[in-house]
Structure 1
Amino acid sequence: MSSATAPHRVSTAPSLVVTLENCPEAAAVARDVAGDFLQGLGPPPDRDAADAVVLIVSELVTNAVRHTHTRTCTLSLAAGPGIVTVGVADASPRPPCERDPDVRGEGGGFGWPMVRRLAVSTSVETSPHGKTVSAVVARVNRPSAA
């Protein structure tokens, strides 16, 4: 039996792990990796969910580069039924801390609250070897209340 098109495959549990050097380009590389990962899912997350995943990846990797002073961080992405889980691990045991946002744009403070708002859930796991900050995003964005 032959077919002119490939069968549609539903991917429910693919995952990817990438180690990144903690340098200014790390967030851009992580965004590209995340975008490619999401495009490879079948079916892919809706646009709002994909944007949320990429934004969370960018923020968590940026935080690892800016605040941990470690050589590398590890980005992990995993897709499950209805969700995408983002994890960023580094060798610093310091968890993210909530700060008052600097509305003048000089000191940051917007990232961690934004990650927590975009994700269905977040967690921080610490160990003697560092920490992993994780965020779970629904593959289909929930409609916002009007």
Structure 2
Amino acid sequence: MTPQDLPLVHGLEQRLFPRDAWPLDMFEAEIAQPVCWYWVAEQDGRIIGYAGLMCIRPVGDVQTLAVVPEHEGHGIGSALLRTLHEKARELGATEAMLEVRADNPRAQRLYRRFGYEHIHTRPRYYRDGGDALVMRLDLTADTAAGTDATEVSS
């Protein structure tokens, strides 16, 4: 993800997460952090997904992961998640953590397919009072789930 991607990414963020959308300046701050890495997934030159990682050894923290609805179910989320895991391992992380809305079973299925385990619930974590499931993955285990040819760029 580059600064030039931010207006499009922010527009997608508002569309995909109207209750929890990050403000534009949060994306700007995130991509400027030396401990954060962000990617976009593109198809035909259009951004169709994005993901971010914060890594402070030994933990890689999935900051965000999103795919536009018309492209869900085609392996894009999996490709982005694999990219985050690969970068976290490269940086020396031995585990990955994330929060996911308790009312988002589709995302939870993706994370479980990769081996994430629900370890805690954060009540009223989201702005609208929604709960977050805290999930953890052992990055030292083989957790690859399928393959695809989706292009992911940083």
| TM interval, short-chain normalised | 0.3 to 0.5
Q: Give the TM-score, by structure 1 length.
A: 0.36
Q: Which has the larger radius of gyration?
A: 1
Q: Give the TM-score, by structure 2 length.
A: 0.34
